Structure formats: structure tokens, C-alpha cells
Amino acid sequence: MTSPEDLATPLSADTGPPEVEPPTTLARLRASASATVSAAIMPLVQRAGRAYVGGETVSDALSIARRLDEDGLPTTLGFWDTKDYSARDVADVCLGAIRSLAESGLDSYLSIKPPALRFDRELTAALASAAHEWRVRVHCDSHGPEVAAASHAMEQAMLAHLEAGSLSTTLPGRWSRSLTDADWAIEQGIRVRVVKGQWPDPADPDRDMRAGYLEVIDRLAGRARHVGVATHDVPLAAEATARLRAAGTPFELELLYGMPMAPSLRWAKEVGAPVRVYVPFGKGFIPSAVGVLRRNPRLAWLVIKDLVSPQAGSA
């Protein structure tokens, strides 16, 4: 049985690796060793990865969302592109997803990736206007810290075209700037999703993810419009939601589709915590997931274990 500590999601909906400095000789040696260790299991992980994505199209993702809805689980759909997509291509997919979500009648919203749109002002305005017209919430996923300011500026620009209730943002606990960004979100009246964070803060690379996560929760408690507690780490979710509940702040637990959910769902049912599931779709998800697992063979083994014995992890 996978332990709660092992259930911390390796993919926090922070997508696409950030630009990095050229690796040192030691880093190259470590990467080579990791690739050697994981090479034998990667073919299985790649096949297993297809169980972790809602298909390539929004129609595929909506099929998953409808099934989850039958189980009483609302969703958010997130499009994961590849380098072959232009900003216009990504915008077209997102615009189609907004309309499809509105027509579906599901309790769901769209998660987007600002860098995939190249922070284009016209595309940003079109997306926000469509979200306003169709009354669908748009959420901005987080990425590397080097694009945090540009993502924040894009969210600010979107507020010129849609009401605050139709926009939400992601705050990584790993980043010290998230506390200031939390204040901004509170002032604007937009919703927030809190994640541990996939990439370290250049200004504070040793910042503890769990401690930082709870710092952000404390900044939001009693002040935020709504908080998405995005984690499969059950003890962390329990502490975060307890603080939000004590402060009277609306919240829901957010889980990533395909990752082990049963322990989190059991806990949420016991304490009466609402749950939402992030359903990724598009050609970009599996390569990204495999990349994360390749860098961490132990996580790859956990994924395979849960695939072979779903009763131990997945819902």
C-alpha cells in the first residue's frame, strides 16, 4: 500500500520545464546515471502514462469529466500543448474548450498555461472575453519562476475583460513571492489554487515546500474568496483545510486525474471536504509526465505499482 507521504503529486499542474543554465559536469553525470537506472522501466511507464491523461482533445477530456461527474466529482480541464503548437493554435483549443464546457452543463472550468499563449495581448483578450461571454472560469496554471511576472501581468490584463469570479490563479508554496501574490488575489477578489511548486525559488532555493504551502494558506485564510488545496499529500491537505475551515474560507481539495486518489478521497469523505479533479488533455501531458518520472525512478515504480494494483491507490 502506498503511504500518504508517497502520494505527494509529482506533477503539480506546473507545466513545461523552465529554462535552465547549461549543466555542470557533475549534473551531466548524475543525469546519465538516472537515465541508466530508469531506462529499463520507461517503456512500461510510457504505456502506463496513457491512463494519466484525459485524451488528446477536449471531447476526450469531457468524457472523463462526465464520468467523474456521475461520481459526484467536479473537474477542471487543462490543455497541455507541445512545441509544435503556435500561440494561435493553443488559443483556438482553449476557445473551443470554453464553449464546450459552457454547453456541457458540467461543474468544470478551464485551466490554461500563460506561456503557451506567449503572453499575447490579443489572444489574452479574446480568451478572457470568451470566458466572460460563456460564463466559464479560466484558471492560470503556474510555471517556472522566470515567467511568474509575465503570467501575473497576463492575469491582470484578463481582469479588464471578465469579472473576478471568472478568473483564478496558482500560488506555489515554494516561492516567497506567493505571499505578495496572495495579497493581490485577495484584493482583486479572484480565487486561488495553492500548490507545492515544481521549481525552487531562485531567491530562496532551500525554502521548505510544506512550510511554504502552509504560509500561503495562512495568508489566504479568512481573506480569500476561495482556495483550491491542490495536493495528494493527505497530511498536508488535512492541515491546510483545517486552517481554512477554522477561518471560514471556502475551499476544495484538488487532485490530479490518474494519480492515486483513493486515500485522498477517503479522507475527504471522512471530514466532509469537497473535491475537484484536474483532467489534463493534449499531446503534451504524457511527455511531461514521463520526463518527471524519468528524473525520479522511485516515483516511476510507484506509478507502476498503482497501475498494476489500482486498489492500492487510484480511485
303 contacts: CB under 8 Å, gap ≥ 6: 45, 48, 52, 293
Least confident of 86-100, 188-202, 219-233, 282-296: 282-296
Cell of 246: 477554522
Q: In degrees, to the nearest 5, what angle opens at C-alpha 13 toward C-alphas 171 and 215?
A: 25
Please state, in angstroms and rounded to a whole number, the distance separating the CA atoms of residues 64 and 100: 14
> What ranges do the domains of the chain cover?
4-15+22-312
Whole-angstrom distance, CA of residue 82 vs CA of residue 282: 8
Closest CA to 144 of 198, 195, 79, 85: 198
Answer CATH for 4-15+22-312 from 1.10.760.10, 3.20.20.220, 3.40.50.360, 3.90.550.10: 3.20.20.220
User: Rounded to whole angstroms, how far apart are CA atoms 190 and 61?
Assistant: 25
Residues 51 and 303: their CA atoms lie apart, in Å, by 10
pLDDT at 132 over 90: yes
> What pLDDT band is residue 306 in, cutting at 50, 70 and 90?
low
Distance (Å, rounded) from C-alpha 266 to C-alpha 284?
A: 30
Least confident of 128-137, 204-213, 255-264, 288-297: 288-297
- Nearest to residue 147, comparing CAs of 167, 174, 119, 169? 119
> How many Cα atoms are found within 13 Å in the side-chain-facing hemisphere of 29?
3
How far is 60 from 22, CA to CA, in rounded Å?
38
**What is the widest separation between alpha-carbon atoms in the chain?**
54
Residue whose C-alpha is closest to residue 226's, from 184, 262, 194? 194
Choose between 30 and 230: higher pLDDT.
Answer: 230
Residue 169 or residue 7, greater confidence: 169
For residue 97, the number of C-alpha atoms closer than 13 Å in the C-beta half-sphere is 33
From residue 136, alpha-carbon distances to 89, 104, 123, 265 in Å are 20, 11, 17, 26
Residue 260 confidence (pLDDT) = 82
* Alpha carbons 141 and 164: distance in angstroms, whole number: 16
- Phi then psi for residue 13, to 5 deg, are 65, 15
Average pLDDT over residues 226-246: 97
User: pLDDT band for position 32 (50/70/90)?
Assistant: low
Which residue intervals of 118-273 are DSSP H helices? 121-134, 148-158, 177-188, 209-220, 234-246, 262-271
Q: How confident is the model at residue 55 (pLDDT cuts 50, 70, 90)?
A: confident
- How far is residue 196 from each of residues 6, 10, 124, 174, 212, measured CA to CA in Å? 14, 10, 26, 6, 8
Mean pLDDT rounded to a whole number for the chain: 82
Query: Average pLDDT, stretch 28-44?
Result: 50
Contacts of 188 (CB under 8 A, 6+ apart): 159, 164
Residue 231 or residue 293, greater confidence: 231
The residue that leads in pLDDT, 5 or 135, is 135
Task: Determine the straight-line distance between the first and last CA of the chain, rounded to whole angstroms.
Answer: 14
